Amino acid sequence: MGGIPEGDISSLKTPQAESPLGRSLQLFLRLLFSPAAPPRQEETRVPGLLRGSPTRRGDWALGFLDGIIALLAPSGLSPAQPQAASLRPLLSDGRSLRKGPVFGEVPFPGVLRPVQPPEARARPGGGGAAFILLARRRHGQRARQAGMAAAAVLAGLALLAGLYLWYYYKVVRGPKCPNETRLRGKTVLLTGGNSGIGKATALELARRGARVILACRNKERAESAVHDIRRESGNNEVVSMSLDLANLSSVQSFVDAFLKSEPRLDILINNAGVENGGTSPEGFNLAFQVNYLSHFLLTHLLLDRLKHCAPTRVVVLGSIVYIMGRIDLQNIQKPVDGLLKSFQAYCNSKLANILYTRELAKRLEGTGITCYAVDPGLVKTGIFRQHPIWAKLLLDTISWLFFRDPVNGAQTSIYCATQKGIERFSGHYFANCKVQEPFPKARDDAVAKKLWEFTERMLGIVE
């Protein structure tokens, strides 16, 4: 091999060194690995080479940089260069390349270190330099491999963090309702408005000047929500009324009281929902009755008032979980128990709501009433509170990371209740404040009609 004059390292420039990244790395490596003073003689002893922490740290750090560069380098550049083989293990003048400061196998200028002084080779046993180099190379290679593995792990974590940030800003936060439509003189009836999406929706509509009626089962929680909404909105036209959607007779009693006390109804929002299993007093699946059946009856009993106050709107809460739902008219109403079966019943009820909205829009065409199915997204609400403690903790943890808060979840409901010019989309499915096309199972008009007729028979409604 041809010798390189002492101190002349300019010939060791690499293609990568001509790039800004290469020059930056060279400067970094010089600062990191060039000692302030010449290395002391004892640093070349075998124990120091095998055990010395500076060498180990340097090899690990440069292995880490190798990994980062390998991930960032253009595919046309190969870290290994042909001249590397001619520079190892020893230069002609007795100097050796330290294994750490390299890009792949390419030496960086300014980082050559004497492993053994030239005169030491003349002494008996001076040939031990080859052993020193071999031991140092093996030791450094392991450290560099560990560094490259750490770089790969870091790159993976950075990728996951980037994906999560995208998911957070694109999905978790979601868009805000773009309009500021005022609702002074309008009356809004909203079920389940004492917490979660319902409360956030009621608060925003109250801020816009509407009279808001919260139809809730729990009187104490409803009054607390009314107090909060009045205080935050500055609107005292917020009241609560008792409604238990798990009991069909309660729906009838509520409608009787509402029609006597409220002369107007401009916006009906069928918001309330449960996810837990159980059986209603009528013997139906609880999720099916609360989420779908009772809202069907409520809307039916209020249609005359809605027509009288037209143009009016009906907003029906669906969910993205409809994609896992099934409409089996032989079993959809039957009670279920257990976590998985209860969740399936919840999915079925949300699919039923979307199909119901399509059929309702057809039947109300020309009446001045428009209706919209809403997907609020995955939202952190109290819907899991009835589950076993272990399931609740698991679901709460998942929801904390990946679900929207109620304010963001309420935006599409607010949009469908207030946005002007969407009347032509009556019966459609909305998500993220815009109309969306759901999966075919949620656009099956034949199934929607059968479900409607099945529900009428269950409720004893004769048109």
Report, as residue numbers or ranges, the catalytic residues: 346
* Cα–Cα distance for residue pair 297/293, rounded to 1 Å: 6
* Cα–Cα distance for residue pair 240/207, rounded to 1 Å: 17
* Cα–Cα distance for residue pair 40/142, rounded to 1 Å: 25
Backbone phi and psi for residue 430, each to the nearest 5 degrees, phi listed first? -115, 140
Torsion over CA: 103, 104, 109, 113 (sign):
positive
**3-class DSSP state for residue 215?**
strand
* Cα–Cα distance for residue pair 281/251, rounded to 1 Å: 13
Q: For residue 414, what are the β-bridge partners?
A: none
- Taking alpha carbons only, the member of 43, 94, 103 closest to residue 70 is 103
CA distances from 252 to 86, 145, 244, 248, 429 (A): 92, 73, 10, 7, 28
In 360-455 the beta strands, taken as DSSP E runs, fall at 369-375, 429-431, 434-436
* Cα–Cα distance for residue pair 120/131, rounded to 1 Å: 14
Render 112-157 in DSSP notation, one character per residue. -B-SS-GGGGGSTTTTHHHHHHHHHHHHHHHHHHHHHHHHHHHHHH
